[in-house]
Structure 1
């Protein structure tokens, strides 16, 4: 299945506009006559983006043109299901050799089958009004709602579902906002938000699953060498004394001191133990009993000899977390203790600078996260976890934010693969995914998507057999340069503020492989009269020009200060043509100044002569 066309009658600033998503077909709908026409573009190249990608479409638009509104319409269309819309629209997609046209009931529609060369099936959305003014309830099978649609956005204030409407189970929200919100209930207005630490932890966990299943060498960009786990330094003796008030504070200090022993495993144990105690105190009020049990147990001889026996002794005393914590520490001591020392040959799990270090593709990473999830610490985080690179001289470097965003995208796609097993269609919508990337990564962004996304699926069992349709939004000319003109939807803003679908770039026949400077020079990206430099620099240059041409002082400076300021701007200017022009103006200004000075001296001499006595 491939989405080909959406026509919208009225949605925010989008008024009677059609959007073509196919490089092979161009549809045109006339809402007055109801005639739906199409043009077949012969130049479309099969498998242009590779055998696993059915098509790529990029939506670009002027500021305020309605790109965000189009994104919102598409996302909510697939999220809530077509039956829950009362805005008239048309959706066209191709399934095998059948063209499916879904049309809102109040829109006229006339389609000629013979113009397409294959059969056309028309269906009408029949809306029925429900209680409370809601619309919905298409009773017939609707293939649109059966499309598996995934949405990814880095924005935390992106598109969100409408309250009170059913959700399409085939809509997969991979956005950052979805990953920080924990809904209170399916039909509640209230939401709770994950802390930044837990959001970051969940991202790392997804990435670890990707690496452990995928390996490091299938990706065609740098992947970290190992994961580094350190204890949260905020969980310390003084903090706990203040956190546990009254007698509990003294009790926590006593327990802390008991586990103040050499060996990183005890640091881990202590961090998990006290994070759990803090969590229990905040959530259930059982912390005082737990501290009391621990104080009694640590004085037992068997515990004094082996502190790790403590959890085994108390796991059933107070609350259910003890068993999970005991299993975690037991796993650490049995599986990892032999590798806690640098002198161990070829350590799988070793410490350095009081950190647990694991190779990126080690299965132990997933086990570590599984144990932490079972303990289910919600309030505080016992660990700092980060991916790390290592160079030839054993120096460490962290993961850049740009690569982290890319890995997040691939990890979230990998996390939903089980939901794709029974689908034959996967439409992936990425909203400005290149935001925040270095220009070099922006240049490679589409190529990285096309190379890496299909690589996730062949390793799955059972293997998935379908093509992926990509729809992207972007502000980047790099993205436009990577695509033929037919694969780009250009949006412009009419004088009245409404959205207009443009025919494309004004000054070129094709965009594929176009020079970035040429794309930026096109009035679609930057209005030509505004130039290609920043507005602040342009303002300063104009001030210097006005000073040299008309003697207008710059800001609140006097003449001498304005001279120095203008000279400095001219010296640091990087654009050679404008710099040469300023130097010419400067020279003219200096000549004018010399003439003015000469005339001033002549006037002074004449005045002095008047004051001399007559001979």
Structure 2
């Protein structure tokens, strides 16, 4: 559907007209609302989830209201979408076109795409609008960008870490093999999965299963490196086979040092250029083992290892993850995942914890040291009973400590260093004045802003100081000064409590902020402007470790997928179900596929590793790659819908074990004792004690019988 926006639909409308009017002809696209309004109930509303786009760029994901209102009968009835639409309405002008799309899968999920009236896309659809103000839009197939579906179907490599002469099939529809001696690639087409087996946008799913140490993580890393940046990351012979748009022919990209090009039927061969295009690659891992992923820049690394590695570099300190989580919490995917809204967020402050070492990084000077100690010795100025005042002072104090060290550090350049020298003098003046803590911090912040303005740093378009992934130094400084100036007023509308742990040099404070729609906007602004500060962190309260793992995974994935529109995605997930309760492990694949289907505008090829038989039971055998360490007989195991207890007991997992190794060894000793022809009174009592706590009724009966038979004459 489309609507040509009136001026009243935009952010330029008068104050009471804060939304987009939905004409009666378009109401059938939205949830059905009763028109039974009254003077006491003049408005009936329904909340919907909307993704806001400007042309092809995602602006925000919001929960908004679709409402029918009559103003108590004083005006003509009207349908309107209102609330949280500022990111789109403030960019709109009268005459712009709003494209309205409704999800075929989720009834309350919509997409609003704003097309500027002078844009190329608007020119392309003028003939479809044909002078109408609103209505249905029958777009040609090539009106909006379409994705090219490229799949990786096979990889072979001579050697990569612990993998030698290693093959990996990544397609359920065809299985390849490479004969190194004959230099020949062969393939065998598999039976197709039932139609619609995976949801919309999911092209294929492959799970890599194997024992610890078999190389599952190395295999996933190999996939990323073989597709992107192969020239600088792989140094042995290898080949990658792709399939594009379900063509019956395949493309083989090879990198051989001495051998001639490989051969094979229905395959086109060409040397590997280093990057396979068009294809997006995303890597996620929940595992933290200090392993550094040296991926090419074209691989989107969402792993915990990659995140911590970046945070430990002084030029990459921005906590963008929390911002993604806030956005994700207000999407419709939260309900489908079964996630609760956290009841609060906490800002953890380590201002005076000497074990953390606030002085250990960046520039440090005598005046900074004096300022630090002066604030530290004035607890009366920041009384805990005045929680909001203390929070404001702590944020301002840590901002000054960090920004001044950043300005004066050896890697900074002019005008930052000049500003640092100017602030050195101002610190001397402020400390000698005898002002209160609040007045001291306010004075220093004002002077810092004045120096930044006079040195034209507030207009800087560079990213050298903060090294933010999106915003310039000038943009960030302006936003930071504005936020810190408004901070006392902003916290007045928040419900904040305080918690302290440790004393003196080991003190740590937490400011707990109740999670509401009001605090949501505050937390977003706080994260955008202040999350670069060391010794201050944001976290959620009221979520289990499993819920946090879910939130971390899905917020990162949906954010990464939201900006993709023209090439398919190879998504590699290492141990995505790690830290989850078994019930959540059982739900993991279904929930993952649902979110990916809802969030992606392009086809997704999913490759994941796991130790869980719950995942194995969700996939047919042709969708599993079993790493070495298992016998050929494992290939005959039918897994889809298999009983998870049978899978646990099978060769893929426990083998002959029916319980944990500790109890297994104890019961083995017990069986041997029960087989003795004569037993002492103490030994018999020992056996009886074990039988009283044994959970396996059949084994208990067997041991009891053995004991009676061998000691019947005692």
Q: Is the counterpart of residue 400 in structure 1 residue 537 in structure 2?
A: no
The equivalent residue for 2:240 is 91
Q: CA deviation at 1:490?
A: 1.5
CA contact (8 A) 2:225 2:234 kept: no
CA contact (8 A) 1:151 1:430 kept: yes
Distance 2:369 2:232 in 1: 59
Q: Is the counterpart of residue 56 in structure 1 residue 205 in structure 2?
A: yes
Distance 1:334 1:54 in 2: 50
User: What are the superposed Cα offsets for residues 307-350 of structure 1, whole Å, 9 maximum, x if unpaired?
Assistant: 9864665445888999766533332333442x2xxxxxxxxx33
Q: 1:32 pairs with 181, 184, 206, which one?
A: 181
The equivalent residue for 1:431 is 574
CA contact (8 A) 1:293 1:314 kept: no
CA contact (8 A) 2:323 2:524 kept: yes
Q: 1:549 pairs with 675, 682, 696, which one?
A: 675
Distance 1:93 1:311 in 2: 60
Q: Is the counterpart of residue 568 in structure 1 residue 685 in structure 2?
A: no
Q: Is the counterpart of residue 481 in structure 1 residue 617 in structure 2?
A: yes
Q: 1:535 pairs with 658, 661, 673, which one?
A: 661
Q: Does the residue aligned with 1:54 lie in a helix, a strand or coil? A: strand
Distance 2:281 2:491 in 1: 42
Q: Does the residue aligned with 2:306 lie in a helix, a strand or coil? A: coil
Q: 2:513 pairs with 356, 364, 367, which one?
A: 356
CA contact (8 A) 1:149 1:426 kept: yes
CA contact (8 A) 1:231 1:268 kept: no
Distance 1:329 1:29 in 2: 62
Q: CA deviation at 1:475?
A: 1.0
Deviates more, 1:14-23 or 1:443-452: 14-23
User: What are the superposed Cα offsets for residues 185-235 of structure 1, whole Å, 9 maximum, x if unpaired?
Assistant: xxxxxx74999xx79x654333123335x3675543213144333563764
Q: Following superposition of structure 1 onto structure 2, how do residues 217-236 of structure 1 map, counting pairs within 5 Å?
A: 217=334, 219-230=336-347, 232=349, 235=352
Q: CA deviation at 1:32?
A: 2.6
Q: Please report the TM-score for the alignment, with normalisation by the length of structure 1.
A: 0.71
The equivalent residue for 1:150 is 282
- Change in CA separation of 1:161 and 1:308 when aligned onto 2, cut-off 3 Å: closer
Q: CA deviation at 1:50?
A: 0.9
User: What are the superposed Cα offsets for residues 501-536 of structure 1, whole Å, 9 maximum, x if unpaired?
Assistant: x57454x4x2111000111122222223xx221111
The equivalent residue for 1:271 is 394
Q: Is the counterpart of residue 101 in structure 1 residue 237 in structure 2?
A: no
Q: Count the aligned residue pairs.
A: 507
Q: Does the residue aligned with 2:307 lie in a helix, a strand or coil? A: coil
Q: CA deviation at 1:419?
A: 5.7
Q: Please report the TM-score for the alignment, with normalisation by the length of structure 2.
A: 0.62
Greater C-alpha radius of gyration? 1
Q: Which structure is higher in helix share?
A: 1
The equivalent residue for 2:527 is 369
Q: Following superposition of structure 1 onto structure 2, how do residues 322-471 of structure 1 map, counting pairs within 5 Å?
A: 326-337=481-492, 339=493, 349-351=494-496, 355-359=512-516, 362-373=520-531, 376-378=532-534, 380-381=535-536, 385-388=538-541, 398-417=542-561, 420-421=564-565, 423-457=566-600, 464=601, 466-471=602-607
CA contact (8 A) 1:231 1:271 kept: no
Distance 2:348 2:304 in 1: 26
- Change in CA separation of 1:216 and 1:59 when aligned onto 2, cut-off 3 Å: closer
User: What are the superposed Cα offsets for residues 52-77 of structure 1, whole Å, 9 maximum, x if unpaired?
Assistant: 10000001123444434423422332
Q: CA deviation at 1:175?
A: 0.7
Q: Is the counterpart of residue 9 in structure 1 residue 128 in structure 2?
A: no
Q: CA deviation at 1:297?
A: 5.5
CA contact (8 A) 2:426 2:444 kept: no
Q: CA deviation at 1:266?
A: 0.7
The equivalent residue for 2:700 is 579
Report the aligned-residue RMSD.
4.0
User: Please, which runs of 5 or more residues in structure 2 have no aligned partner?
Assistant: 1-149, 361-365, 410-419, 458-475, 499-510
More RCO (CA 8 Å, sep 6+)? 1
The equivalent residue for 1:343 is none
Q: CA deviation at 1:86?
A: 3.2
Q: Does the residue aligned with 1:33 lie in a helix, a strand or coil? A: coil
- Change in CA separation of 1:322 and 1:36 when aligned onto 2, cut-off 3 Å: closer
CA contact (8 A) 2:371 2:431 kept: no
User: What are the superposed Cα offsets for residues 122-147 of structure 1, whole Å, 9 maximum, x if unpaired?
Assistant: 2134xxxxxxxxxxxx4xxx662542
CA contact (8 A) 1:149 1:427 kept: yes
- Change in CA separation of 1:3 and 1:591 when aligned onto 2, cut-off 3 Å: same
Q: Does the residue aligned with 2:297 lie in a helix, a strand or coil? A: coil
User: Please, which runs of 5 or more residues in structure 1 have no aligned partner?
Assistant: 114-119, 126-137, 184-190, 340-348, 389-397, 458-463, 495-499, 554-558, 595-615
The equivalent residue for 1:111 is 264
User: What are the superposed Cα offsets for residues 416-442 of structure 1, whole Å, 9 maximum, x if unpaired?
Assistant: 346634x41200000111122110011
Distance 2:678 2:483 in 1: 75
